[in-house]
A and B are shown apart, each in its own frame.
Chain A
Amino acid sequence: MSGSGGGGRQVRAIESIASHLVVLLAVAFALYPVLWVIALAFSGSATPEARVLPIPREPTFDHLWAVISTTREVGDSTQWLFGRQLANSLIVSIATALVGIGIATPTAYALARFNFVGKEGGLRVLLATQMFPAVASAIPLYLLLDFLGLLNSRTGLILCYATTAVPFAIFQLRAAFESIPVDLEEAAMVDGATRFQAFRMVVLPAARPAIAVTALFAFMSAYNEFILAATLLGKEDMFTLPVVLQRFIGEYDAQWEAFAAGALIVSLPVMILFYVLQRHLVAGLTSGGVKG
């Protein structure tokens, strides 16, 4: 061991450089397509050309401005259409996260703490819902929402998104609750708290990171979805942003710059959320891990 000090430092330096190289390569891989989208969004020239570096040609804010300032005439007044659609997206996604978490949290707690008839079967059904492709259930869902009078409404969309997000949320939260020591609740209950109070005052705060991350996933699933939204929504001022984006790309006149500009705006809120929650992201997934 003696005398290896200098050699060890050298080895460590090489290792450090190597790890930085590996990570930088991965970062380049991760950012390259995103940079292309950004470059396209600010490009003034539409002439196609094979290039390596994602640098905007004839930089301009026109596309971004054109997408943001979309309006429409309703009767005599002008409506800021893009603003409404952005609001739709945010309302639907936030409500999805709230409703989804609201439904999943108590259920996940029961699955983590109680034994009851139908528990195993229920878990199996939850996993099964993840395996069945949506292709076959889209039409029945449409008919069902019509029956409930929820077509063409944000409520219908929120309900669909929230319930679709619930199974994964339950898996996540159940694992998180399981990793919280039972002693904490038992101590609270010895002190006179009811089970529900123990759940609310002790377990929920302890599981906050996991809940935040699960909410983020539910938010994202709603914020990025467009197939269901395009089918269910029939009015322009009800559209969510992914539906709007999809319409920039027709077969013959794909407005790629507008699409890229829109994509940039659409991605921004999720990016910010990810940035804010990224510490929790690791912690949230750590708590026992995602359990299937």
Chain B
Amino acid sequence: MIRRRTAARLALAGLALAPLLLGAGEARADEGDEAATIQLWHAYRGAEEEALQAILEAHRAAGGPPVETLAIPYDAFGSKLGAAIPLGEGPDLYIDSHERLGDYRVRGIVAPVGDAFEGEAAFRSNAVQAVTLDDAIWGLPLSQKCVALYVNQGLLKEVPATLEGFAGLRDTLPEGVFPLAYEAQGAYVHSALLGAFGGSLLGPDDSFGFVGDPAVRSLNLARALIDGGVVPSDADGALVTNLFRGGKAATAISGPWLAADLEGSGIDYRVELLPKVEAADGAPMRPLLTVEAVMLSPEGAKRADVRALARRIAGPEAAALRQERARTLTARADVPLPPGDKLLAAFAAQAEVATPMPSAPAMRATWEPANRAIKAFLRGELDAEAATEGARKRFDDVRRPLPPPASPTPLLIVVGLLLLYGAFSLVRQVRSGELVPALRRSIPAYRYVAHAVITVGLLVILPLVVGAATSLWAGRPETGHYVGLANFVDILTARGGPLLATGSFYVVLLVTLLWTLANVFFHLAIGVSLGLVLSRPTMKLRGLYRVLLIIPWAVPNYVTALAWKGMFHRQFGAVTGLINALNQTFGLSIEPIAWFSHFSTAFTANLATNVWLGFPFMMVVTLGALTSVPGDVLEAAEVDGATRWQRMWQVTLPIIRPTLLPAVTLGAIWTFNMFNVVFLVSGGEPDGTTDILVSEAYRWAFTREAQYGYAAAYAVLIFLMLASVTRLGEWKAGRRAAREAAAARAAQAVEGGGH
């Protein structure tokens, strides 16, 4: 008997372990050839990726070691490098934009290129300048990228000399065609305008530069262009591409990537220098210049074969090949432009007028505040001074000095006391003679739970505890220090600002509560109603309806989140299509709604998405719960003359309530922490007002200077709140159960007495 039991258990364990063993073999196989191959990471796609592969093939043909490449989305590049390189899992060399160098250097994931650099004469001077930090060269320049003006020659012959002149094109162009399309709400393209007025996003000494006269004047000009119908109001990068590709924009400000998207579109276009700005005394627009460079990880920089490969990727043959195949503008001085390539010539001319993007780590912190300031101003919520001053405060807030190191003594005392208390109560329980027999009785149960305790403890609870402990540290992982409860104090005092300002903990908490309540309400209302309707025995097609209504649950939620975001697009979304159809059919004149410009509408968009995702679960739980409603109770109620409505409220709902309650609790917890929908649909727009606590924590961890400790403090606060609310609920439920038990006993006593 015992042997069979053991065998069964072993079989179960084997089932659980099989993939581990298989996987372990595969992991070992991977490590075997790692020393010889070179790991190269890049963010290229399409023609640029093909060009890179061709260069690597040539290197291999010339006897170089094998190279393994990995394409990583640009947005994820930095965080992935930062996680992988310190652990020795990262690439030996990688291709990235120069403006990240300062940050990478602070994090110790990039090394000077040493003898891979051929000398300054080989490259264009502002490319060399871009990769130089403190007199050392930290990357080999490959190509230069900046935005320029794309002109649709079918729509426009003569380009106005100044930006202001574009207003005159409105009357000459066909209906519905914008004279100019650019990402007006983004700081990246706007900085070209800012540059014309002599401003820059990052000021001297790492201060915030998007303030003062140049900022105000550039913003006013942008507003004038939008108000005059010259520029679409809420175009993002992808929309600019679509507008120009679809012939709905006569010109567009965009980078070389647009040329790749125009292939096969049949649009006859040329590229020109960005226009001059009359309001800035005729100064030219100055876009930001990005230099793509090969960078070496500290480990890679030690290997001669890696340096040789870097040198080849940045060499003249490779540069010529890239220009020819991918049409990227080389950063080399000794490689001529392909004769007759007007596109590259135009970008080369524009690069001369561009400003290299600052590579100081502080530059990264300028984007979020600058983007928000531009959006808030263009929505008309704030005037230019207030918007830019607010942005400066936000920048300073993110860049604020770390809290001073705290003494770890209080923590050690608390931990010590807790351990002491634990040991004391353990000893007391052992002494009382109850614990040991109880433990002995528990042994059979422990055989069933041991593996869960080990795996969940190791892979779920340990990271949680370590993560929670991080909340007592501040700063980047490499340079941080212990600060005690300073992060919590900062959060709970709104970092010294007004307690009810946008983005303060309390306001975000209110939004999160509203979000959770509204979602749970709609999930319940829709789910339970549908459950009730579908459970009617007379209902035809029940099975079909049920299958169709479960579909939202089955589709991956990031897919639907993005689909909903698309439907809420102001110009091209299906919701706008519906409004247009309503207008046409009923002769109404409802304006298309800019969903993500106001808190109420953006919140509604998020809510609609999440309600859509969540109601099927409640419906299914309701259907399940309804099967436990005894038919005779309902019949009895009907005989007693209860109406359908009364039967539902007074019989059915009370009976299914206990089954629904746990599902509602869990659903509420999940909604409270529903990151995907908020992040993907509204992304916190407008101005971070629709962010919930989890997405706010995410921003501190991953977009605001990697303040993991600060983000962890948010996580701990979320946990504490949820845990205490749940405990409160349990306590109340416990009291109710006790009351009901007492009532039942009383009823039984009465019944017993009656007989």
Q: Give residues in A with beta carbon < 8 Å to B.
A: 12, 16, 19-20, 22-23, 26-27, 29-34, 36-37, 46-52, 54, 73, 75, 91, 95, 98-99, 102-104, 106-107, 109-111, 114-119, 122, 125-133, 135-144, 146, 149-156, 158-160, 162-164, 166-168, 170-171, 194-197, 200, 220, 223-224, 226, 230-231, 234-236, 242, 245-247, 249-254, 256, 259, 263, 266-267, 270-271, 273-275, 278, 281-286, 288-292
Contact = CB atoms under 8 A, between A and B. Distances in A.
B451 interface: yes
Residue among A110, A139, A141, A278 with the highest chain B CB neighbour number at 10 A = A139
15 contacts: A20-B540, A37-B563, A103-B451, A106-B448, A117-B439, A118-B442, A133-B718, A135-B712, A166-B455, A252-B254, A253-B237, A267-B556, A286-B624, A286-B625, A290-B663
B554 A271 contact: yes
B546 interface: yes
A109 B448 contact: yes
Interface in B547-575: 547-560, 562-564, 566-567, 571-574
For the complex of A and B, 5 pairs with smallest distance between CB atoms: A155-B23, A116-B442, A286-B624, A136-B467, A110-B448
Contact of A48 (B242, B533, B554, B722): B242
A197 to B, nearest CB: 7
A128 B70 CA distance: 37
A283 B83 CA distance: 44
Interface string B596-631: 000000000000000010001000110111011000
B576 A50 contact: yes
Given A131-B723, A224-B556, A250-B45, A122 B449 contact: yes
Given A246-B73, A252-B255, A282-B624, A289 B663 contact: yes
A98 B719 contact: no
B675 A133 contact: yes
B662 A289 contact: yes
A250 B694 CA distance: 23
A20 B540 CA distance: 9
A126 B661 CA distance: 18
B9 interface: yes
B571 A48 contact: yes
B449 A136 contact: no
B505 to A, nearest CB: 15
Contact of A137 (B442, B455, B463): B463
A168 B556 CA distance: 19
Nearest to A146: B87
Nearest to A11: B644
Chain A: interface secondary structure?
A: helix
A141 B547 CA distance: 38
A45 to B, nearest CB: 9
Given A114-B448, A289-B659, A154 B261 contact: no
B726 interface: yes
Given A98-B15, A195-B444, A281-B550, A153 B23 contact: yes
A69 to B, nearest CB: 16
Contacts of B354: none
B506 to A, nearest CB: 18
Contacts of A196: 5, 8-9
B697 interface: yes
Contacts of B612: 29-30, 33
Contacts of B716: 136
Contacts of A128: 719, 723
A285 B23 contact: no
Contacts of B712: 135-136
A281 B621 CA distance: 9
Given A154-B26, A167-B456, A194-B5, A102 B16 contact: yes
A125 B457 CA distance: 10
B435 A117 contact: yes
Interface in B1-53: 1, 4-5, 8-9, 12-13, 15-16, 19-20, 22-24, 26-27, 30, 45, 53
Given A131-B718, A270-B555, A292-B661, 12 more contacts: A22-B530, A29-B612, A33-B560, A33-B563, A33-B567, A37-B560, A48-B243, A137-B464, A162-B455, A247-B71, A253-B261, A263-B556
Interface string B507-539: 000000000000000000010011001101011
B653 interface: no
Contact of A103 (B16, B552, B554, B701): B16
A290 B662 contact: yes
A3 to B, nearest CB: 17
A160 B546 CA distance: 33
Interface residues of B, number: 155
Interface stretch (B160-168, B345-353, B376-384, B577-585): B577-585
Contacts of A259: 562
A84 to B, nearest CB: 13
Contacts of A236: 70-71
B241 interface: yes
Given A133-B715, A291-B662, A103 B452 contact: yes
Interface stretch (B74-82, B297-305, B746-754): B74-82
B689 interface: no
Interface stretch (B307-315, B392-400, B488-496, B665-673): B665-673
Interface string B359-402: 00000000000000000000000000000000000000000000
B89 A251 contact: no
B459 A47 contact: no
Given A27-B545, A136-B716, A47 B556 contact: no
B588 interface: no
Contacts of B261: 253
Contacts of B580: 50, 52
Contact of A52 (B45, B477, B578, B628): B578
A103 B445 CA distance: 14
Given A50-B571, A102-B12, A246-B73, A164 B460 contact: yes
Nearest to A193: B1
A117 B438 contact: yes
Nearest to A274: B554
B27 A150 contact: yes
